[in-house]
Amino acid sequence: LLEMFAIPAAAVACGYLPTKRLGLFENLPRDAAREWAFFSRQRDYIFSLPGYKERYRDFKTDILAVSFTDDEYSVEPAFSSLLNVFPRCKIEHVHLAPDRVGLKRVGHMGFFRAKNKEKLWNLVGNFLLGTTKDKGNKNIAD
């Protein structure tokens, strides 16, 4: 119901989606909120659009995918299904419980909150610097 009615209606009524008031993330412009609501109703999210899966099948790069056991929106099976869209990529998927990194909760957007940077962001930094666990260096996923 949220994706079908509440998000589009709030976006039209306010001219934007007031997600900051709800403590979620920055407010979304009206059209971005409506598009997000549309994709949220699709089985394959953005990959439901014609040709999208095919475009990403040829994409080749290293991907660090981080998910959390307490993410109420992106549950593990859905997250893994998303990663299957990138068959030519070398994917390092780290699925963490918040308590494993000394946090009570991370949820869907918590990774991006500044209060969690000391506990989580070094994982991405290590990946970008090429110092991930497969190279023998310790990171929070070890």
Question: 20, 27 in Cβ contact below 8 A?
Answer: yes
CA 20 centroid distance within chain: 18
3-class secondary-structure state, position 51 = coil
Instruction: Choose the most confident range, by mean pLDDT, from 8-17, 28-37, 60-69.
Output: 60-69
CA distance 142 to 121: 15
- Contact between residue 60 and residue 89 where contact means Cβ atoms under 8 Å apart: yes
Look at residue 99 and tell me whether its pLDDT is greater than 90. Answer: yes
The pLDDT value given to residue 98: 96
If pLDDT is split at 50, 70 and 90, which confidence band does 69 have?
A: very high
Please tell me whether the overall predicted TM-score, pTM, comes out greater than 0.85 for this model. no
| Range 74-83, long-range pairs (CB < 8 A, 24+ positions) | 74/108, 82/45
